[in-house]
Amino acid sequence: MLTSKQRAYLRGLANGIETILIVGKGEITDNIIMQADTALTARELIKCKRLESSSYTSRECADIISEKCRAEVVQVIGSKFVLYRPNPDEPVIVLPKAKKKPQ
């Protein structure tokens, strides 16, 4: 689970990257899930777009793909959404530390 500070950090990083996954009309297929999974393993942070012809909303696309790829939804704005999943072997993105709650 990402903290708001980590989410803000990832949103800043996502601002400069290109959209690499496009969900068009039709269902979210295994091929789309495989592409997202491969891209998340390689990049950790991906920007996706939902076309107007899609039968899903952007939030639905983000939720479905993130659930199947075990990723986190960073943000959903308009037709675009950003997903994050750390690479377990070679992490590239170092997130800010979460503050401990005072007891």
pLDDT digits (tens, 9 = 90+) for 17-54: 999 999 998 889 999 999 999 999 999 999 999 999 99
pLDDT at 88: 85
Burial label, 65 (beta-carbon count in 10 A; 0-12, 13-18, 19+): buried
Q: Which sequence spans correspond to the domains of the chain?
A: 4-84
Q: What average pLDDT does the segment 74-97 reach?
A: 92
Q: Please answer whether residues 22 and 31 qualify as being in contact, where contact means their C-beta atoms are separated by less than 8 angstroms.
A: no
Model confidence pTM above 0.75: yes
User: Domain 4-84 adopts which CATH fold?
Assistant: Translation Initiation Factor IF3 (3.30.110)
- φ and ψ at 99, to 5 degrees? -75, 145
Neighbours of 26 (CB within 10 A): 11
Check pLDDT > 90 for residue 68. Answer: yes
* pLDDT mean across residues, the chain: 92
pLDDT value at 97 more than 90: no
Q: What's the confidence (pLDDT) of residue 101?
A: 65
Measured CA to CA, the distance from residue 69 to residue 60 in angstroms comes to: 14
CB atoms inside a 10 Å sphere around CB 84: 24
Q: What is the pLDDT of residue 11?
A: 96
Cα torsion 83, 69, 85, 17 to 10°: value is: -40
